[in-house]
Structure 1
Amino acid sequence: MERRQLEYFVEIVERGGFTHAARSLHVAQPSLSRAIGNLERELGVTLFHRVGRNAVLSSAGELLVDRARLVLRDLAALRTAARSAAEGAVGRVDVAATSSSALEPTTSIIADLREHHPGVTVSTSSAQSAAEVVTMVLQGRCEVGVCGSRERPAGNGLVAHHLRDEEFLLVVPPGALPGAGPVVPPEALRGMRFVVPQPQTAVRALFDRLAGTVGDMTIVAEVGDRSVVLPMVLKGIGAGLMPDGWADLARRAGADVHRFDPPERLPQWLVHRAGPVTAATQAFVDTTLSARDTGQSPPD
C-alpha cells in the first residue's frame, strides 16, 4: 500500500467522485481508477460502488476512510518533523472552529503564529457546534479544534485544554434600550425581538434557555450564516446575542452592547488528538497555550 493510494482514496471521498477528484489531484481519471483498483485488490475489499457516474462508499470504505485520514496525518507529522529540525515549524495546520471561536481566540492565534512561526499556514473550517468540531478532529479532517462547550470535550484519544470563559453579550440597535446602563438583567429581554442562529449552536442554546426563563422573547429571523446577525441588528430587525469577540466590531459599527448580570459565560476549549502531530500543529497548540498562560485566559 502506498501513501499516494490513500491520498487518492480520501480525495475521492472529499470531492464526491472520481471526476472531481482527478481534476483536483491533476491526474488522469484512468490513472486514478487504476490506483484505487490496485488498493482494493491489496485490501481484498470493495471501497466504492459505481452507480452511474457516481462513486458511493461501500460499508468497508466507510470503515476505512477515517483511518486513512489519520494515517495521512501521521505521515505528514513525520515528514514535517524532519523538516522542522532544520527550518523551524513549517507547513499547514487545519483548524475546525465554531463561529465565535473562529473570531476569538483563533484570529489572535493566527496573528501570533505569523509573527513567531512565519512558515506555518492556517486553514480554518467552520463547524456548527462543539460536537462537530470534536468529530472533525477525531476523524482526521482537521488536526486541531477550538470550540465552546459547558462540558469538557471528550472522545477516544482526544486531548482538551481549557482556554478561557467566553462571555455572551446583548447587542441591540443604537438607542433601543434608552436609559439602560452597560449591564442589564435578563428580565430586560422580555418583549424584545431577536435575530438568532440555527439550532445546535451555543448562542441558540443560550437564547432558548433565556426565553424559557424570561418569556416573551420573539424570534423574527433565524439565520444559517451567523456573520449576518450584526448587519440585521443594525438594520433594526431585532436584537442579537453575541460572544465577546464581536464586542469591538459591534461598537465600531454603531450598535449598543450590554453585558448581563449575572454574566452569561461558556468555557472555550482547544482540542487535538493525542500522539504525534505535525510541527505546524504543535506550533498552533503551543502558541494558543502560551497566550492562555500569560493571562489572556485561565489555566486548565
Structure 2
Amino acid sequence: MDIRQLEYFLAIFDHGGFNRAATALYVSQPALSQTVRSLERDLGTALFHRIGKRAVLTEAGSALIEPARAAVRSMQTARASVDAVQELRTGRIDIAAMPSPAVEPLTSMIRDFGGCHPGVRVCVRAAFTPRDVIDMVRTGAAELGLLTIPGPLPEKEVVAHPVGVQGLVLLAPPDGPFRAGRTVAGEELAGQRLIIVQRGTAGRAYVDELRERGVEFTVAAETEHRASVLPMVLAGVGLAVMTDSWRRMAERAGALVLDLEPNPVLRIGLISRKAPLSPAARAFLDCALRREDAAT
C-alpha cells in the first residue's frame, strides 16, 4: 500500500466514480482502475461495487475512508514540512562549538543568519577541545563545528573554512596586580595565582608552556566550565589566560583585559563533514563566509 493508491481511492469516493476521479486527478481511467485494483489486491478485499458508471463503497471500503484520509493528511503535512525546510522557512542546525568561539564569532554568525532565516533554529552543542569538535562533526552528532586552534586547520577528516583569527588575553581584577592598558609578558605571571582551563585548549597550552620554561605560578583553580572563569577573576580568585573573544564581555563586567607577550595566533575554523550539507547548514556556512569576506 502506498500513498498514491490511497489518494486515488479517496478521489473515487469523493467524486462519485472512476471517470470523474480520473478527470480530477489528470490521469487516464485505465491507470486509475489499475491502481485501485492493486490496492485491493494488497488488502485482500474489494473496496468498491462497480455498478455501471457508479462506484459504491463496500463495507471494507467504508472502513478505509477515515484511516486513508488521516494517512494522506499526514503525508501532505510531511511534504509541506520538507518543502519548508528546503526553502529555509523552518528547520534546525546543530553546531558543535568550543566555549570561546561560541562567545564570538558564533554569536554574530547566529545573529546574521537569523536575520535572513528567522524560522531556522540554531542548536549549539558543547565541545571543549578542537578534537571534540572534529569528532562531533565527523560522526554526524553535529553538522557544523566551530573551533580555535594554534596550528593549521584540520583538513583530513572534515572540510575546514577559515573565519578569522584570535589572540590570547589576560583577564585580571580591576584592583591589580597589573595596571590597565599595559602588555604583560609571560614571565611576569611568575608568582601569580592563575585560573586554568582543561588541557587541549589554547589558554591551557599557554600556561603549560610557561611552566615548561621555568615560570612558576600557583594554580588557584582549574575548571572545565569556562563561563565560571570571569566570575572567579572578578572575585579575586586569580588571573586567567583566555582567548580574545572574551574581551568585550570581560570589560563590560569590570575586569581588566590585558594583551600578552608573546601572543600566539589562533586560527578560527568553521568545519563541516565531507558529505553534502543540508540546505540550512549550507546557508549558515555561506552566510558566515560572506561575513568573513566583508570583514577582510
TM-score, with length taken from structure 1: 0.67
Query: For residues 225-256 of structure 1, what are the alpha-carbon distances to aligned partners after superposition, in whole Å with 9 as ceiling and x for unaligned?
Result: 11101111111110011111111111111111
SS in 2 for 1:151: coil
Give unmatched runs, 5+ long, in structure 2.
1-78
Task: Give the aligned residue type for 1:152.
Answer: L
Task: Give the aligned residue type for 2:186.
Answer: P
Query: For residues 161-208 of structure 1, what are the alpha-carbon distances to aligned partners after superposition, in whole Å with 9 as ceiling and x for unaligned?
Result: 111111110011112134464322222212111011122222211221
Aligned match of 1:289: 289
Aligned match of 1:168: 168
Question: Shift of the alpha carbon at 1:90?
Answer: 3.4
Aligned match of 2:100: 100
Aligned match of 1:61: none
| Structure 1 position 228 matched with structure 2 position 228 | yes
Higher-Rg structure is 2
Question: Contact 1:81–1:279 at 8 Å: present in 2 too?
Answer: no
Aligned match of 1:153: 154
Aligned match of 1:114: 114
SS in 1 for 2:161: strand
For the structure 1 residues 211 and 116, does the alpha-carbon distance in structure 2 shift closer, same or farther, using more than 3 Å as the test?
A: same
Question: Contact 2:99–2:127 at 8 Å: present in 1 too?
Answer: yes
Question: Contact 1:90–1:279 at 8 Å: present in 2 too?
Answer: no
Residues in 1 aligned to 2:124 and 2:280: alpha-carbon distance in whole angstroms: 14
SS in 1 for 2:221: strand
Question: Contact 1:137–1:145 at 8 Å: present in 2 too?
Answer: yes
SS in 2 for 1:264: coil
Task: Give the aligned residue type for 1:151.
Answer: P
Q: How do 1:268-279 residues align onto structure 2 when only pairs under 5 Å count?
A: 268-279=268-279
Question: Contact 1:91–1:279 at 8 Å: present in 2 too?
Answer: no
For the structure 1 residues 80 and 294, does the alpha-carbon distance in structure 2 shift closer, same or farther, using more than 3 Å as the test?
A: farther
For the structure 1 residues 178 and 266, does the alpha-carbon distance in structure 2 shift closer, same or farther, using more than 3 Å as the test?
A: closer
Give unmatched runs, 5+ long, in structure 1.
1-77
Aligned match of 1:11: none
Question: Contact 1:80–1:279 at 8 Å: present in 2 too?
Answer: no
For the structure 1 residues 261 and 177, does the alpha-carbon distance in structure 2 shift closer, same or farther, using more than 3 Å as the test?
A: same
For the structure 1 residues 262 and 81, does the alpha-carbon distance in structure 2 shift closer, same or farther, using more than 3 Å as the test?
A: farther
TM-score, with length taken from structure 2: 0.68
Residues in 2 aligned to 1:183 and 1:80: alpha-carbon distance in whole angstroms: 54
Say which is worse superposed, 240-249 or 138-147, in terms of deviation.
240-249
| Structure 1 position 266 matched with structure 2 position 266 | yes
Question: Contact 1:98–1:146 at 8 Å: present in 2 too?
Answer: yes
SS in 1 for 2:252: helix
Residues in 1 aligned to 2:191 and 2:145: alpha-carbon distance in whole angstroms: 37
Aligned match of 2:69: none
Query: For residues 1-39 of structure 1, what are the alpha-carbon distances to aligned partners after superposition, in whole Å with 9 as ceiling and x for unaligned?
Result: xxxxxxxxxxxxxxxxxxxxxxxxxxxxxxxxxxxxxxx
Question: Shift of the alpha carbon at 1:210?
Answer: 2.4
Residues in 2 aligned to 1:174 and 1:84: alpha-carbon distance in whole angstroms: 49
Aligned match of 2:243: 243
Residues in 2 aligned to 1:248 and 1:269: alpha-carbon distance in whole angstroms: 21
Question: Contact 1:99–1:127 at 8 Å: present in 2 too?
Answer: yes
Residues in 1 aligned to 2:240 and 2:287: alpha-carbon distance in whole angstroms: 32
Q: Report the identity percentage.
A: 36
Aligned match of 2:12: none
Question: Contact 1:81–1:278 at 8 Å: present in 2 too?
Answer: no
Task: Give the aligned residue type for 2:271.
Answer: V
Residues in 2 aligned to 1:81 and 1:279: alpha-carbon distance in whole angstroms: 11
Query: For residues 45-79 of structure 1, what are the alpha-carbon distances to aligned partners after superposition, in whole Å with 9 as ceiling and x for unaligned?
Result: xxxxxxxxxxxxxxxxxxxxxxxxxxxxxxxxx99
For the structure 1 residues 284 and 221, does the alpha-carbon distance in structure 2 shift closer, same or farther, using more than 3 Å as the test?
A: same
Question: Contact 1:80–1:278 at 8 Å: present in 2 too?
Answer: no
Say which is worse superposed, 171-180 or 229-238, in terms of deviation.
171-180
Say which is worse superposed, 238-247 or 256-265, in terms of deviation.
256-265
Question: Contact 1:189–1:214 at 8 Å: present in 2 too?
Answer: no
Q: What value does the CA root-mean-square deviation take over the aligned residues?
A: 2.1
